[in-house]
Amino acid sequence: MKAIEKQLIGHEGLEQKVYRCPAGKLTIGVGRNLEDKGITEEEALFLLKNDIAECEEDLRSIFSEYDALDESRQRVLIDMRFNLGPSRFRLFKKMIAAVKGKDFSRAAGEMKDSNWYRQVGKRAETLAKMMEAGG
């Protein structure tokens, strides 16, 4: 680590969750003012790549044959896991069982039979079609 990085971390601290700095601004990391500066597109995409990797790691722990699924169905599962988080995703027990049994029509039906489907609208419709059709 460069000396200036150590110095700034020593002065600013390093926080992995959003907090309010002494000036009352929402801040993260090493003094990153989210209200006035935000993040760059490159930083947002870096975070997204890390979040996708986390989703895939979690999905592999749920589905032993995750890597054997076609890309379209993997994308459905990543999208849902990303949107719902690990705990709420696991509440889709019947959908998970259907995917494990390679019954993708039933999996799509289980997706449609949920509050999530009604709440997220077009996103859920698209994902259910992708789950059923594969590709």
Q: What is the pLDDT of residues 31-86, one digit of tens each?
A: 999 999 999 999 999 999 999 999 999 999 999 999 999 999 999 999 999 999 99
- This model's pTM is above 0.85: yes
pLDDT tens digits for 14-28?
999 999 999 999 999
Asked if residue 135 has pLDDT above 90, the reply is no
How far apart are the C-alpha atoms of 20 and 10, rounded to whole Å? 18
pLDDT reading at 126 higher than 90: yes
DSSP H or E run through 18: strand 15-20
Q: Residue 1 pLDDT > 90, yes or no?
A: no
Residues 51-133, CATH architecture = Orthogonal Bundle (1.10)
135 and 72 Cβ atoms separated by less than 8 Å: yes
Instruction: Say if CB 23 and CB 39 are below 8 A apart.
Output: no
Closest CA to 81 of 112, 105, 116: 116
Residue-wise pLDDT tens digits, 88-112: 999 999 999 999 999 999 999 999 9
What are the start and end residues of each CATH 1.10.530.40 domain in the chain? 51-133
